[in-house]
């Protein structure tokens, strides 16, 4: 059995970047505006600022327009809602992403609910989540889509496999579980209250960890030949570490994602791909 094959997020991202460039090229040939992503940023959270900066950098390289709308921390909820209304009504804006966290005086649920589902390229609105739950066409959260695409890249059929997801967040854990169910995996979701976590993980054909606890997944958690997807990113002593003890687990797993260079390398590209999908859908409706 093959072990230790590294699933490169960079390689997968490059494949999707090629698709995006083709969409942009065809759009320019038709003489219409290229796809446009609008990012709403409140305050000066370092992680959010870095993500927005990366969005802009990748968009520029691919020929996609990126519009940043920034606010100070004291912005009112009403101002944010009005801004989203404007973006919803702007035919040249195809995708909208809200950077989190938001200040405590802003109700994040109100902000998310305001985004048109057809422009919700981060897959956070209730309608998109309901469509994901029902197995219908929708936008899925970008990290979750990246996870599924990386698993598919192995060429191994997901159907019938036992997949264990460690983490139950609305942004990653739950959507990943639903995507796996859609692909006919048998899915177990684990969390902080799960008993016998090691034994459950040890039975997984596909193991996905997204809890942000560096190095928690050691070789004792992994069945030989399992696919291991590490979504965790925690800064430790100035370096980014994943949930998985990579050096240990790569000797057991058939496929494993590195950190950095794995899931995180695909996430921004999936966001831009979702924006292009939104653009194509909106153009069909015109």
Q: Residue 233 annotated as binding?
A: yes
Q: Residue 167 annotated as binding?
A: yes
**DSSP-derived pairing of the beta strands 5-6 and 65-71:** unpaired
Residue 2 confidence (pLDDT): 73
pLDDT tens-digit readout, 2-52: 789 999 999 999 999 999 999 999 999 999 999 999 999 999 988 899 899
Task: Answer yes or no: is 249 within a domain.
Answer: yes
Confidence of residue 89 (pLDDT cuts 50, 70, 90): very high
Residue 47 confidence (pLDDT): 85
Q: State whether 153 and 257 are in the same domain.
A: yes
The span from the CA of 228 to the CA of 105, in Å, is: 39
Task: Answer yes or no: is 19 within a domain.
Answer: no
pLDDT surpassing 70 at residue 1: no
pLDDT surpassing 80 at residue 195: yes
Residue 46 confidence (pLDDT): 87
Q: State the total domains in the chain.
A: 2
Compute the residue count for the chain: 286
The mean of the pLDDT values for the chain is 96
Q: State whether 146 and 207 are in the same domain.
A: yes
Question: Alpha helices of the chain — where are they, by DSSP H?
Answer: 9-30, 46-62, 77-89, 108-114, 126-134, 142-153, 173-182, 197-202, 246-249, 264-285
Q: Is 268 helix (H, G, I), strand (E, B) or coil?
A: helix
Q: Residue holding tokens 């100070």? A: 72
> Side-chain half-sphere of 16: how many Cα atoms within 13 Å?
26
pLDDT surpassing 80 at residue 184: yes
Task: Answer yes or no: is 99 within a domain.
Answer: yes
Residue 256 confidence (pLDDT): 98
User: Residue 187's domain is classified under what CATH number?
Assistant: 3.40.50.720
The DSSP 8-state label assigned to residue 40 in this structure reads E
pLDDT tens-digit readout, 232-245: 999 899 899 999 99
Neighbours of 126 (CB within 10 A): 12
Q: State whether 216 and 166 are in the same domain.
A: yes
The pLDDT > 70 percentage for the chain reads: 100
The span from the CA of 166 to the CA of 231, in Å, is: 10
Domain with 231, as residue range(s), is 140-265
Residue 226 confidence (pLDDT): 98
Task: Choose among 37, 28, 93: nearest CA to 60.
Answer: 37
In order of 45, 155, 223, the CA distances from 169 in angstroms are 20, 27, 24
pLDDT tens-digit readout, 161-172: 999 999 999 999
Q: State whether 56 and 171 are in the same domain.
A: no
Residue 285 confidence (pLDDT): 84
Q: State whether 170 and 253 are in the same domain.
A: yes
The pLDDT > 90 percentage for the chain reads: 95
Task: Answer yes or no: is 279 within a domain.
Answer: no
The span from the CA of 87 to the CA of 67, in Å, is: 10
């Amino acid at each position: 059995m093959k072990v230790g094959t590294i699933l490169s997020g960079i390689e997968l991202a490059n494949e999707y970047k090629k698709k995006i460039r083709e969409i942009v090229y065809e759009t320019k040939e038709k003489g219409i505006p290229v796809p446009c992503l609008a990012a709403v940023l409140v305050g000066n959270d370092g992680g959010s600022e870095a993500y927005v900066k990366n969005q802009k950098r990748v968009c520029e390289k691919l020929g996609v327009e990126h519009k940043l709308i920034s606010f100070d921390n004291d912005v009112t909820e009403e101002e944010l809602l009005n801004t989203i209304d404007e973006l919803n009504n702007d035919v040249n804006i195809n995708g909208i992403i809200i950077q989190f966290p938001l200040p405590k005086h802003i109700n994040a649920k109100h902000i998310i609910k305001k985004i048109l589902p057809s422009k919700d390229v981060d897959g956070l609105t209730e309608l998109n989540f309901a469509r994901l739950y029902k197995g219908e066409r929708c936008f899925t959260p970008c990290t979750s889509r990246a996870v599924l695409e990386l698993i598919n890249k192995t060429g191994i059929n997901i159907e019938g496999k036992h997949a264990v997801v460690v983490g139950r967040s609305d942004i990653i854990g739950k959507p990943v579980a639903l995507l796996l169910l859609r692909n006919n995996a048998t899915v177990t979701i684990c969390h902080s209250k799960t008993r016998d976590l090691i034994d459950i993980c040890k039975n997984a054909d596909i193991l996905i960890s997204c809890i942000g606890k560096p190095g928690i997944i050691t070789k004792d958690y992994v069945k030989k030949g399992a696919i291991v997807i590490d979504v965790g990113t925690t800064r430790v002593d100035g370096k980014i570490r994943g949930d998985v003890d990579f050096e240990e687990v790569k000797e057991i797993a058939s496929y494993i994602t590195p950190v950095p260079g794995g899931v995180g390398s695909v996430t921004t590209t999936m966001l831009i791909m979702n924006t292009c999908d939104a653009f194509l859908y909106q153009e069909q409706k015109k």
